[in-house]
Amino acid sequence: MTMLRVGVLASGGGTNLQAIIDACEGGLIHAEVAVVVSDNERAYALSRARTHGIAAHFVDASDKEEHERRIDELFRDAGVELAVGAGYMRILSPWFIRRWYGRLINIHPALLPSFKGLDGQGQALAYGVKLTGCTTHFMDEETDHGPIILQAAVRVKEGDTRDTLAERILKVEHQILPRSIDLFEKKRLVIEGRRVKILPGDTWLGTHQYPDVFYSDGY
């Protein structure tokens, strides 16, 4: 059976990309990363991809329209079936969103709809919440707004700094993003307006979870 072909957008170090690659290569998910694209020529995500023999492309973003058309071209040429934003620091245009809607997911380091935009971890800490976490969602034409797939709640500990909190959240991002790809590959995700219905099936609870993290249904 053919594997789901995934295209990844990343702007930085690519730890979420690495989590996806590890899940693919370890057989945890029936998928393969077909291509990685970055708007940052020095992004370590590109090096990670090349280390694993994955096509990796820097696409200049000075012209937004041309940038997105080139991404679309690269993804289509690679036979991408699911596009994933994994630390991609640009807002995609309605044109791109419409072309990939329902096949385009993102991960955000907060429990949406709270703390949208940049530095969700720092926003949560500054606000004084006791729980925060991370969210995977289908992208739509508003920032950090589309239908939610999975969420995981992480405690904010006394004495946390922005970096210590972000580190704990990141470990959980490395779980729910591959799992979201897994659910997509298994055709268990059904978008119903604002909601994503997750059809019955297997669970990663008990095998891929942290004891002090609360995972939403479907994980």
8 Å CB contact between 135 and 106:
no
Handedness of CA 166, 30, 182, 92 (dihedral sign): positive
The partner residues of 48 in beta bridges, in order of sequence, read none
Residue type, 152: A
Q: What is the DSSP letter of 136?
A: E
- DSSP string of 122-164, one letter each residue: HHHHHHT-SEEEEEEEE--SSTT-SPEEEEEEEEPPTT--HHH
Pair type for strands 104-108 and 131-138: antiparallel
Q: Which of 67, 108, 137, 174 is catalytic?
A: 108
Place of tokens 């393969």: 32
Rounded Cα–Cα distance for residues 89 and 118 (Å): 9
108 classed as catalytic = yes
| Catalytic residue set | 108
